[in-house]
Amino acid sequence: MEGLFDAPGTPRGGGGSLAANTHASAPLAVRMRPRTLDELVGQEQLRAPGAPLRRLIEGDQSMSLLLWGPPGTGKTTIASIVSQQTNRRFVEVSAVSAGVKEVRAAIDAARAELVGGGRETVLFVDEVHRFSKAQQDALLPGVENRWVTLVAATTENPFFSVISPLLSRSLLLRLESLTDDDVRGVLAQAIADERGLAGRLSVADDALDHLVRLAGGDARRSLTYLEAAAGAATSRGLDSVDLETAETAVDQAAVRYDRQGDQHYDVTSAFIKSVRGSDADAALHYLARMMEAGEDPRFIARRLVILASEDIGLADPTALTTAVAAAQAVQLIGMPEARLNLAQATIALAVAPKSNAVTTAIGAATADVRAGKIGPVPAHLRDAHYSGAKKLGHGSTYKYSHDEPYGIAEQQYAPDVVADAEYYRPTALGAEAAVKERWERIRRLVRGSGPRSGTSRRAR
């Protein structure tokens, strides 16, 4: 087998063979790579009975796969499992270094192997999104004619980075980030397994928690950190990895943060209140704490999107656009690069002028609805497109706004019960100052003489 993995049937450990010795000296993440689909951690949706991946492996079908997911979720491992469990030849091509010539050579060799010996080939292309259109086009003959079983991996959205013909000829499988429990299970297996530490060292609970947090859902990274921590403990003559050793080995202090406990809620609350309070430096501090502790970046992005309307609103209409763009960037790029997008959005929202007028407006309107203030829709606003509507007076006195001066018609829009309600009360901060001036003029034009005194409803 050409690439990262041993050929199927290669003995593991002991024996003194070159292959065995090479494997014994391989990084812990390589030694602990799952050998079967059942050993794969996480990705239950791919391992379930009847799932496409399981049918591909157990049915020994020829089907090309496009694996999309964050780093360390098992993309390379799945390619290895497909090869080993179906006894196919394995060839790896890196999109970083290979060109069209190398791709065509790999496919030609696979075709010759298939014709000459009947053995199929798994062609693994890592980071396929880095391939140019010409390089991706070079894969098509092999995939279309099934000279190879293509397994292509990408961390970026394939609908943006992979050509349509290749997408249509491949089964797209979405891999999810591993949970903390998944990563903890990977580490526990590596500590006990003969391929790993074989029980020679134990790991303290707080040290294990530190390694899990630093991994950020990346199994490969967690094993790299464990290997470093175990090496540091051994060099100190210890039989256990404590927190201090783990911190020293990975050169990063432990962040006291529990994604399911008080720290999660306290730090998140401080982050939101710092942005609301316009302290960009404090907001960045809490953002960094969350990211370093492995907080889900999608959670952070969602909080920013909410905050853009809750605390800024029309004081800076671009705030929501900025927050949504950051959330999309998180989905498209992933960590660690997306930390830049989150930082930019955090700073932009922190320094933006603040207004909670949107929040109080919808809150006041909702309170009236829940209090039962739900009157009939005025007759001139009702649907007048069906037969008989005009006989009921629907729409007969409706004024078309575009036919009126300034594009604003003086007529009643709200039901009688809330006809004088004033839910939206803009502030004079930032861009909302201009909105305030215009809204006050519009309200007077729409309602004629304006709200009747003593009956207006002020937003709470």
* pLDDT score for 326: 95
Model confidence band, residue 450 (pLDDT cutoffs 50, 70, 90): very low
Dump pLDDT digits (tens) for 356-391. 989 989 988 888 888 888 888 777 766 666 655 565
* pLDDT score for 449: 56
* Amino acid sitting at position 290: M
Phi-psi region of 177 (alpha: psi -120 to 50; beta: other; left: phi over 0): beta
Instruction: Tell me how far apart the 2 most distant CA atoms of the chain are, in Å.
Output: 96
Helix (H, G, I), strand (E, B) or coil at 27: coil
Model confidence band, residue 303 (pLDDT cutoffs 50, 70, 90): very high
* pLDDT score for 406: 76
Return the H-helix or E-strand segment holding 154. Answer: strand 149-154
| CA gap 416, 332 in Å, rounded | 48
* pLDDT score for 44: 82
| CA gap 459, 40 in Å, rounded | 55
Helices (H), 18-62: 18-24, 28-31, 44-47, 52-58
* pLDDT score for 266: 81
- Tokens read off for 245: 């050793």
**Closest C-alpha among 413, 408, 439 to residue 426:** 439
* pLDDT score for 385: 66
Q: Which residue has the higher pLDDT, 186 or 51?
A: 186
Q: What are phi and psi of 240, to 5 degrees?
A: -145, 145
pTM of the model: 0.51
| CA gap 312, 271 in Å, rounded | 15
Strands (E), 197-252: 202-203, 240-241
Length of the chain: 460
Dump pLDDT digits (tens) for 21-57. 446 678 888 888 888 888 888 888 888 887 878 877 7
**Closest C-alpha among 231, 230, 241, 246 to residue 203:** 241
* pLDDT score for 391: 59
Dump pLDDT digits (tens) for 172-184. 988 887 888 889 9
| CA gap 361, 423 in Å, rounded | 5
* Amino acid sitting at position 246: A
* pLDDT score for 22: 42
